[in-house]
Amino acid sequence: MSEASTDTKRVEQPDEKTVRRAVAGAAMGNAIEWFDYGIYGYLATVIAFVFFPEASPAAATILVFAGIAIPFVLRPLGGIVLGPLGDRFGRRQVLAVTILMMSGATFCVGLIPSYASIGIWAPILLLVCRLVQGFSTGGEYGGAATFIAEYAPDRRRGFWGSFLEFGTLFGTVLGAGLATAVQLGLSEEDLNSWGWRIPFLVAGPLGLVGFWLRSRLEDTPAFQAAEAAGSTTASPFKEVLANVWPQILQLVGFVVLLNVADYMLLTYMPTYLTQVLEISDTEALLILIGVMIVMMGLIGPVGALSDRVGRKPLLMASAVGYFVLSVPAFLLLGMKSVFPVIVGMVILGGLLLLMLGTIGSALPAMFPTRNRYGGFSIGYSTSTAAFGGTAPLIVSALIAGTGNDLIPAYYLMAAAAIAIVPILIMPETARLSIQHPTNIPGTDKYVSDGEPVGAGAGESPTDGGKTSG
């Protein structure tokens, strides 16, 4: 079948009940990933004691965050291997593997004996588990985002796509909540000997639930249509490099800010508030959890707003906001009183919310169906490896070396400055169809099947009202 004939073939949309199940199954993997980060970040002090008892407090903190940063070395490899496989064999099959690997790695951390029991093998086994998770998450996020975007109706893709990051917040809150519960409910001796294991072991049944949800779904309508038309790729990695490298570069540049903000606020902030600013553990944890719960309540409306006004205005507001407001927000945190700390966290969390509510719909739409999983996964995992998981490690090391508590603000400002450029040049994809196998919004390889924000019906975002195909 010719390219033109596959481009003009419309994809039948599933009913809303099916969309809801697809969104839940995809978001569950993201929830498990961030459940792990939530546990790890909120139990950093305990993990340092269990696995690195002979290190100084500052060195132990750096080693703990190295346990987050080092696995990101394998994340691009996971994206390179798993992402193209999702374009070749289907999204659902690869996502079933990634959720089992992620949850299994987190579960196994809870089984590792302490340093006091097996010596150097304890941190080595911890690193092995973290590396397995780093590889698997390289193919998870791109696949989950693709899965939701390809199931969602074009005109509500922003709303449904926002639930991918609802999973991020839910997983972080659940992990932080469990970590807080074991810290408050157990004596220090019990916490350090066995209590810290409980949250990690919970990842096992969570992973099985996620696997069950995903196994009940068919592959996405867009992939099934492409497969039926013979428009899937037989050489996915080669095609990604040849066809969509400009989109990958744009995604990498934007995701710098997304990941620095994500990992700074959701993973490093508990340590920053308690160890750097010396705010009490309970006060810091309750403030952070409260802010994240509010973000969970607002993320759906933000996604729906992006369906109305477009993705780019919200993404640009977030980037400019971080460039202008990061220093004032961290100065408020430095006051250490409850009200200023809450205001500072609301500023940082609100700016992150504008991105989280939008990216699940904006980023997958940059790629055609036949290269979407691979292109997204490679670009996202590469940028995340370089700038996301390393953020807590770099920031904690810079603070220890300089004594400057505003280092996180400067880091966010630098990331925001980088992200503004790709946001300016990326195409607006709100309401545009991403269902055709070869559609690439913002290029001449686009068949208009929806109404772009700010344009008339049937008008392409780049051709002044003409449609190709």
- Whether domain 13-213+235-425 has CATH 3.30.460.20: no
pLDDT of residue 440: 57
Q: How confident is the model at residue 392 (pLDDT cuts 50, 70, 90)?
A: confident
Residue 465 pLDDT > 70: no
Q: What percent of the chain has pLDDT over 90?
A: 30
- Which tens digit of pLDDT belongs to each residue from 180-238? 889 888 888 899 889 999 999 999 999 999 888 888 878 888 888 877 777 777 777 77
The average pLDDT across 245-255 equals 89
Range picked from 56-65, 150-159, 366-375 for highest mean pLDDT: 150-159
Name the average pLDDT for the chain.
84
- Which tens digit of pLDDT belongs to each residue from 276-323? 888 887 788 888 889 989 999 999 999 999 999 999 999 999 999 999
- Which tens digit of pLDDT belongs to each residue from 75-103? 888 888 888 888 888 888 888 889 999 99
pTM for this model (two decimals): 0.79
pLDDT of residue 459: 39
Tokens 């719909």 appear where? 361
Domain ranges across the chain: 13-213+235-425
Q: How confident is the model at residue 407 (pLDDT cuts 50, 70, 90)?
A: very high
Instruction: Tell me the residue type at 377.
Output: S
Range picked from 1-5, 265-269, 397-401 for highest mean pLDDT: 397-401
